[in-house]
Amino acid sequence: MNKVSALALGVALSLGLAACSQPVATDTTQPQAEQAAPALSSGINPANMDSTVAPQQDFFRYVNGNWLSSTDIPADKARWGSFDELRENAEKQVLAIIQELAATSHAPGSDSQKMADLYRSYLDEARINALGLTPLQGEISRIENVSNSAELSQYWGENQRYRFGTPLAVYVGQDQRQSDQYITGASQAGLGMPDRDYYIKDDERSKVLLAQYGAFIETLWQLAGWDNAGQAAENILAIETRLAKAQWSRIQNRDRNATYNKLTKAELAALAPGFDWTTFLAAANLNDIEHIVVRQPSYFEAFAKIQAEVPLAQWQQYLKFHLLRANANNLSEPFVNASFDFYGRTLSGLQEQRTREKRAVSTVESNLGFMVGKEYVARHFQPEAKARMDEMIENLRLAFKEAINDLEWMSPQTKVEAQAKLAKFNTKIGYPDVWRDYQCLTIAADDLMGNLRRSAECEYQRMTDRLGQPVNRDEWGMTPQTVNAYYSSTMNEIVFPAAILQPPFFNVDADDAVNYGAIGGVIGHEFTHGFDDQGRRSDGEGNLRDWWVPEDESQFRERAQRMIDQYSNFNPIDDLRLQGALGLGENIADLGGLTVSYKAYQNATKGQPAATIDGFTPEQRFFMGWAQVWRIKFRDEALRQQVITGPHSPGMYRVLGVLSNMPEFYQAFDVKPGDAMYREEDVRVKIW
């Protein structure tokens, strides 16, 4: 189980900084023409700033206020910010590649044929509309023919390949306690709403949303031409609500020790009796496993009871609805519109559906992502970026090493372990050394639903084939065209895909200060994930192991609790406050990442003149670079969903929360008691 922490709300990384490179020796025997070095810009966009807001009062609005006031969120977006712009750009580049491929014919079975024909199959709207529900009729009959609990267990096992209507999800990943091995894991699943809280919160808005979800169930049921839509929706909602009440919260699911419960098959059967685990696992192609890691034991115990108590006919209704829900966007126009109306308009506040071309590209990327990535890299990635990124990362690693040594609250014994882990961090930049193989997949231009089912089967087989094999350390968890980055605790590695190694996040014409504040802070963010409240539980080999002196762990927890309390006081909308405990890992990574990057910047520019550019000192430009990265606007519905389900704080709090804890920021902008950005020293957080 490869535990990954991703930046998720957008990532920025450097293609290289002048301060990271060694001076180039010149041949002094030859006459040299004197050339003036080009003047570097501040990297700050003054048009985005609101000078009527004092930086000491609201630094996020000071740097981004005019942009916030003048920018409209695109109609097909739930939010819009600097990293969303980069994602839009990457999507356009991929669309151009795929449209070029789709304009010509290709050899059967070739990469080009698969990408082109999958795109064509999604664009063939006339055929999709004419088929209606026909592509699902075989699966509908399969559900209707389930006649007993053993067959239901078998169906759920088989359906692990397609991931709809399965209250349990099984997977194969690295063993968190033996990271050189793969193991089977199992987790709670089965809801149609984004989180269990949508079912169990009793405020008025949550009740309205649940009713709207019930209406959505009815709509899909009616579109399918089935009778008794109201009763079916009531039964399905009742099942999902029972599952939701048994599920662990997102905060509970963050605990890596609590979610690691390695059981034999006999122990699993004893934990959750009454469910046919033997039939289920055999149907899931996991018959020969010896152990399974159960993430939420109490949920599995409850599920076993629920599956026995709910009548088979109601489970069939549940399965048929989730079959429709999971495939609605690939069916005829009425199904597509119904899905968008609920998941797009109601839950996310979208005003328009994305164009069919954009949705087609997303489908190709979801199913042939690394195949697309290979083309993307060939056209849009500069090879020298890897070497430059290596330099930047090593600069940040050195700063983190110094930061660990300087910690006054950590004992020498724990520091030795922390340094050992830091030294073993692996980095992956741009794209994989070994590209994923898609030979198992057949794609036809006139069979969208068949293409998607075969893709799911191919990927599931790829996953289960890992069992008994050496861990593939070349594997990537994100495609090169993904605008994001991540840290994997079991691999103990940080990964930076190609798509974020470009402007606007790195400004080649700007001086080092703004780039360290933006890009360096984000690289530091990924480093710090290895030492956040969950990342710190693993050692340098990626194994879940307690390497902390008890007194140091106590010190860490005390500081972490202060951060939880701080962020829990932020109130972005209505009566919703941030969940400080849910966002703890990301908030620690933000604060630690920017703190370490500031140290790296000081190291890199030591002895250089501190030039003021556009009226801003280097230290000021550093913090402004960070604030520019996180400029973002949300629709109200999307912001609520982010607060309820997302571990990442909304952009403004990634600025306000971090900077209010950094004395370096206070010094740069002369922040004093009474200023809104000011925190008393005894409540500021300093972890890394």
**Catalytic residue list:** 526, 590
Please tell me the distance from the alpha carbon of residue 622 to that of residue 593, in angstroms, as a whole number: 13
For residue 43, which amino acid is it? Answer: G
- Scan for tokens 């996180």, then name that residue: 630
Residue 369 sits at φ, ψ, to 5 deg, of -55, -45
Q: Is 353 left (phi over 0), alpha (psi -120 to 50) or beta?
A: beta
Please tell me the distance from the alpha carbon of residue 295 to that of residue 31, in angstroms, as a whole number: 69
**Alpha-helical segments (H) within 381-435:** 384-406, 412-423
Residues 6+ apart with CB under 8 A from 191: 199, 240, 243, 244, 247
Residue 109 has a CB neighbour count (10 Å cut-off) of 12
* Sheet architecture: strand order including 493-497: 4-6, 486-488, 493-497, 426-430
Rounded to the nearest 10 degrees, how much is the dihedral formed by the CA atoms of 617, 622, 623, 625?
A: 120
Q: How far is CA 466 from its chain centroid?
A: 23
- The encoded tokens of residue 341 equal 């109306």
Q: DSSP readout, 227-268? A: S-HHHHHHHHHHHHHHHHHHSPPHHHHT-TTTT--EEEHHHH
Rounded to the nearest 10 degrees, how much is the dihedral formed by the CA atoms of 229, 122, 371, 527?
A: -50
Residue 69 sits at φ, ψ, to 5 deg, of -75, -30
State whether the Cα torsion 437-441-442-448 is positive or negative.
Answer: negative
- The encoded tokens of residue 351 equal 């005003």
Please tell me the distance from the alpha carbon of residue 431 to that of residue 52, in angstroms, as a whole number: 44
CA angle (533, 537, 542) in 5-degree steps: 125
| Residue 444: DSSP 8-state | -
Please tell me the distance from the alpha carbon of residue 648 to that of residue 632, in angstroms, as a whole number: 13
- Scan for tokens 């594997």, then name that residue: 475
